[in-house]
Structure 1
Amino acid sequence: MLDSTSVRPALKTSHRQPHAVVIGSGFGGLAAAIRLGAKGYRVTVLEKLDAPGGRAYVYRQDGFTFDAGPTIVTAPFLFEELWKLCGRKLSDDVTLVPVSPFYRIRFQDGSHFDYSGDPSAMRSEIARFSPGDVNGYDAYMRASEEIFKVGFERLGDVPFSKWTDMAKIAPDMLRLSSYRSVYSLVSKFFRDTRLRVVFSFHPLLIGGNPLTASSIYCLIAFLERRWGVHFALGGTGRLVDGLVKLIEGQGGRLRCNQEVREILVNDGVARGVRLASGETIGADVVVSNADSAWTYRHLLPESARSRWTDRRIERARYSMSLFVWYFGTRRRYDEVPHHTILLGPRYKRLLTDIFDRKVLADDFSLYLHRPTATDTSLAPDGCDAFYVLSPVPHLQSGTDWSVMTEDYRQAIAGELSRTMLPGLENEIVSSRMLTPQDFQDRLSSFRGAAFGLEPILTQSAWFRPHNKSEDIENLYLVGAGTHPGAGLPGVLSSARVLDSLVPDASHLVTLVTA
């Protein structure tokens, strides 16, 4: 706890530019910094790692460029807004290119479904599997659009600070069957079990279980069709670099290798932060882009918290984690598209193992990312860059990843060699891995959950940690663990919410000089 005579913003100094400290340089933190800069704040972004990005960190090794995490851009206008706030255009710094198909979904028997934003192509793909479900697709997309208009356009950047905010939308949520799971709602429109999988997997992209995630997340299907799926040439890191450039252009500052150990609180008000080095930094506003559970559990004393107590944090439900293997090959696999989802022999039971039983299963479903299908500059000539991602339980599974990592990697390599990448084991020239233990130790994710709180109805909107802290004045939260949730559109929208919550810097100066 900060003593009242130690580091406190110098609010008595006339005409001082108010200072905002942002903890973490993931997309939520970088977007928040730009929006605060546009409000007139002097902004300092503090990053624990040696480079910005958070989950969007970039690994460069052996001539390969590996994006650590998010690679799918589905709402480019949210990035365009940030560049516009700085008087620039996104295209000045980043080239986004459409990816088609969005995903190839490969079933265990070798058949596949190419998922795209082209309604005609989608009807043809559906007809190959189940001609009787073509009309169901049109009806589902109409339902997805209606959910999108409420869940994204009306509520995505609206703060849920009071329970009455939730009460106002309850009728719409009931009308849209938000109490049903994604899989349940999809099953209403498709009879073929394979198509039910094709149209229900989206919650996994934001850490949710399709069997339990609220059907509000069916909005993703329409969001993708409306704006498409894009990739940033040079990798997602180009977006990170571009955002940092905007912050610096506003006069803001990014400090890497600066781990925040404590948010300093005095009389219930956030007054700054203390770093692992012992340095203290005063602030008028503190924004945490760190995992919300980590923020409350590890950066604030329990005595300062009334809502997000240790007990409540421990009892909450958290998303799955991820095992990610980044690898480069000495040859190209030109027949492999940019995004492939390889489904294992089980769907529902595997999801139950991951989310409910928290068991590391012997089988798996995989997401294979081959960015060199779109941008060959990410690998040496004649080579391919990949990452393969396997959803796994978070650390409550008790899995010892120091023991399991290599065995699990080998099992995945064998499956990829058998299905998509023949002879893979003999072609690898670069390799690294990220496990649930790394999500906890490197990325400060509570229990190693890759997406924070699990996106179920009772942990959404008002039930989620609020963007304006319920416990601490002048503390705000952005990122996957707060409203509206994970995924690039979600974390960018969480920063958008701050526009209506954080006062303009000029207002604070007025209060000081009055």
Structure 2
Amino acid sequence: MLTASGDNRAVVIGAGLGGLASAMRLGAKGYAVTVVDRLDRAGGRGSSITMEGHRFDLGPTIVTMPELFSDLWAACGRDFRSDVDLRPLDTFYEIRWPDGSSFKACADTDRMVEEVRRLSPGDVNGYLRFLKGSEARYRIGFERLGRMPMHKLSQTIRVLPDFARLRADRSILSLAKSLVKDDRLRMALSFHPLFIGGDPSNVTSMYALVGHLEKTFGVHYAIGGVQAIADAMATVVRDQGGTIRLGAEADEILLDQGRARGVRMKTGETLSAPLIVSNADAGHTYAHLLRKSPRTRWTDRRLNRASWSMGLFVWYFGTRGTRQMWRDVGHHTIINGPRYAELLKDIFGRGHLAPDMSLYLHRPSVTDPGVAPEGDDTFYALSPVPHLGWEDPVDWSERRESYRQAVAQVLEAHIPGFQAHLGPSHILTPEDFRTRYLSPNGSGFSIEPRILQSAWFRPHNVSEEAKGLYLAGAGTHPGAGLPGVIASAEVLDSLVPPAPAADVRLAAE
């Protein structure tokens, strides 16, 4: 067989976007990379399914910082824009409230000010102060923390004076309340952490940085969905000489005297390599993949005490002959229920499935006609719900259909008559997130991004449990969301040395 005195083999567990980005960067460093994933398509939570000609993006739908992808492709000697057709959206999303009012977000400050003025003229100055603070938080929270390693406590301590100055101890909802008086605007300025699994009433105000990120870099959609980005990433990995094995599940990370030596697959096969990157959920990595190995920090007890992100109920559905209907419904619509702060308490604080809900409605067919047959539409409606880790968790085998009907009732006010045009339909509940993505507690975004579960306090990109083991993706630093998981591979790139020169020769088995 072939052996190498300079062993440049690497195994990446999980072909999610963080895993694929890690594989690309390892390939660019000269590693011989094998990516394994239990699903049948690359992309992980960013993958898709197709039913009767309707393509459903299962997870993330927008790109908010394309420069991260451009930098990733450039590190591999490629041009991102040549491989992916990325389209900027003029209106990022429309927020709607039960009283019929609405707010359209975009990159233009003057238009945004007019949106604020239309809802609450007295809150314009508060909104402008929010924008200024958003930029300051971006400089510290993303540029200084999000794209740099945080596995040493000293790295976090260095930014504490800035955190104190920017009141990182205050929640983003508390920050919004201090700046604007209108409850609708308070929601519009504070809801963004929900996109990465955080409770706005508990998550640090540093996440106000999203306002600057959206305004500066825009909100984009990839033709073909995020699946198209994942497929393009997989192509780069293969062009580098890497291997991607789908339908192949890792069962255990193997150690030898505290050092990674390979991965045992569910089939019993062993993939030997001195460098392992786990793009699996950090909780699954430590509780299952390292279940037979001693652990010092990320023990089951510590994982059980962690605060996990909320669960998600997502209804994917197609409609027939509706492309010219509902002209007022754009690509992204956020539909608010009658409560905001109290609904957050039900989801994050009580584990209670409330009868009311807020929804994120995705209608990609207005931008990408190819997601559905000609004249048809493709949608998904997402509702934040409690995860499964509560003492009395929701039994989704019983509530699945009744909750779908409740979602449909809310949607009727925005896409009236849609149920008469229904085509294919598919549902994911927290139970499906637990079985499909091996997500602890069926959470949608791994560990919740609270201040004491971020930076040094979050599972590190370089594991302290085994030499040669690294983490990428939503459960590690800097966190969930497309910018977070792509940045996790950039952080990993700064920690992993170039591959050793392989002295390959024939040897007897």
> Shorter-chain TM-score category?
over 0.9
Name the residue aligned to 1:386. 379
Q: Structure 1 residue 266 and structure 2 residue 260: aligned? A: no
Query: Is the 8 Å Cα contact of residues 255 and 293 (structure 2) preserved in structure 1?
Result: no
The separation in 1 between residues aligned to 2:204 and 2:478, in whole angstroms, is 13
For residue 25 of structure 1, give the secondary structure of its aligned residue in structure 2: coil
Name the residue aligned to 1:170. 160
| 1:94-124 per-position Cα deviation (integer Å, ceiling 9, x unaligned) | 1111112111000011211111111010010
Deviation at 1:304, TM superposition (A): 2.0
Pairing 1:104-115 to 2, within 5 Å after superposition: 104-115=94-105
Q: Structure 1 residue 338 and structure 2 residue 328: aligned? A: no
The separation in 2 between residues aligned to 1:509 and 1:202, in whole angstroms, is 50
The separation in 1 between residues aligned to 2:83 and 2:497, in whole angstroms, is 30
Query: Is the 8 Å Cα contact of residues 366 and 388 (structure 1) preserved in structure 2?
Result: yes
The separation in 2 between residues aligned to 1:291 and 1:92, in whole angstroms, is 31
The CA RMSD over aligned residues, in Å, is 1.4
Name the residue aligned to 2:507. none
Name the residue aligned to 2:342. 349
| 1:65-112 per-position Cα deviation (integer Å, ceiling 9, x unaligned) | 111000110000111112212222112221111112111000011211
| 1:429-452 per-position Cα deviation (integer Å, ceiling 9, x unaligned) | 110011100110110101101101
The separation in 2 between residues aligned to 1:57 and 1:164, in whole angstroms, is 37
Q: Structure 1 residue 475 and structure 2 residue 469: aligned? A: yes
Unaligned runs of 5+ in 1: 1-8
Deviation at 1:176, TM superposition (A): 0.9
Deviation at 1:508, TM superposition (A): 8.5
The separation in 2 between residues aligned to 1:129 and 1:46, in whole angstroms, is 50
Deviation at 1:509, TM superposition (A): 7.3
The separation in 1 between residues aligned to 2:25 and 2:81, in whole angstroms, is 19
Deviation at 1:17, TM superposition (A): 5.0
Name the residue aligned to 1:484. 478
Q: Structure 1 residue 400 and structure 2 residue 395: aligned? A: yes
| 1:7-58 per-position Cα deviation (integer Å, ceiling 9, x unaligned) | xx95xx33x4511100001110000000001111000000110111110111
2:147 counterpart (146, 157, 168): 157
Paired residue type of 1:406: E
Paired residue type of 2:11: V
Paired residue type of 2:230: V
Query: Is the 8 Å Cα contact of residues 11 and 33 (structure 2) preserved in structure 1?
Result: yes
Deviation at 1:334, TM superposition (A): 2.9
The separation in 1 between residues aligned to 2:502 and 2:278, in whole angstroms, is 20
Query: Is the 8 Å Cα contact of residues 17 and 42 (structure 1) preserved in structure 2?
Result: no
Paired residue type of 1:389: L
Query: Is the 8 Å Cα contact of residues 17 and 40 (structure 1) preserved in structure 2?
Result: no
2:410 counterpart (415, 419, 423): 415
Paired residue type of 1:403: E
Deviation at 1:302, TM superposition (A): 5.5
Structure 1 pair 113–509 and aligned structure 2 pair: CA distance change class (3 A): farther
Query: Is the 8 Å Cα contact of residues 7 and 273 (structure 2) preserved in structure 1?
Result: no
Q: Structure 1 residue 220 and structure 2 residue 215: aligned? A: no
Name the residue aligned to 2:495. 501
The separation in 2 between residues aligned to 1:277 and 1:80, in whole angstroms, is 37
Deviation at 1:335, TM superposition (A): 2.3
The separation in 2 between residues aligned to 1:94 and 1:68, in whole angstroms, is 19
Name the residue aligned to 1:433. 427
- Give TM-score scaled by structure 2 length: 0.96
Query: Is the 8 Å Cα contact of residues 401 and 437 (structure 1) preserved in structure 2?
Result: yes
Name the residue aligned to 1:241. 231
For residue 348 of structure 2, give the secondary structure of its aligned residue in structure 1: helix
The separation in 2 between residues aligned to 1:506 and 1:298, in whole angstroms, is 30
Query: Is the 8 Å Cα contact of residues 22 and 493 (structure 2) preserved in structure 1?
Result: no
Deviation at 1:166, TM superposition (A): 1.5
Structure 1 pair 509–161 and aligned structure 2 pair: CA distance change class (3 A): farther
Q: Structure 1 residue 98 and structure 2 residue 91: aligned? A: no
1:308 counterpart (290, 295, 298): 298
1:443 counterpart (404, 418, 437): 437
The separation in 2 between residues aligned to 1:257 and 1:353, in whole angstroms, is 37
Name the residue aligned to 1:52. 42
Paired residue type of 2:426: R
For residue 158 of structure 2, give the secondary structure of its aligned residue in structure 1: helix
Query: Is the 8 Å Cα contact of residues 37 and 252 (structure 1) preserved in structure 2?
Result: yes
Length, aligned pairs only? 498
Unaligned runs of 5+ in 2: 505-509
Q: Structure 1 residue 296 and structure 2 residue 291: aligned? A: no
1:73 counterpart (50, 58, 63): 63
Moved over 4 A (4+): 507-510
The separation in 2 between residues aligned to 1:214 and 1:429, in whole angstroms, is 41
| 1:340-397 per-position Cα deviation (integer Å, ceiling 9, x unaligned) | 0000011011000000101111110000000011111111111110000000010124
For residue 505 of structure 1, give the secondary structure of its aligned residue in structure 2: coil
Name the residue aligned to 1:4. none
Paired residue type of 2:277: V
Paired residue type of 1:376: P
Query: Is the 8 Å Cα contact of residues 151 and 219 (structure 1) preserved in structure 2?
Result: yes
Q: Structure 1 residue 36 and structure 2 residue 26: aligned? A: yes
- Give TM-score scaled by structure 1 length: 0.95
Name the residue aligned to 1:457. 451
Name the residue aligned to 1:6. none
| 1:393-425 per-position Cα deviation (integer Å, ceiling 9, x unaligned) | 1012411111111111111011101x1110122
- Percent identity among equivalent residues? 53
The separation in 2 between residues aligned to 1:486 and 1:509, in whole angstroms, is 39
1:61 counterpart (47, 51, 56): 51
Query: Is the 8 Å Cα contact of residues 21 and 286 (structure 1) preserved in structure 2?
Result: yes
Name the residue aligned to 1:23. 13
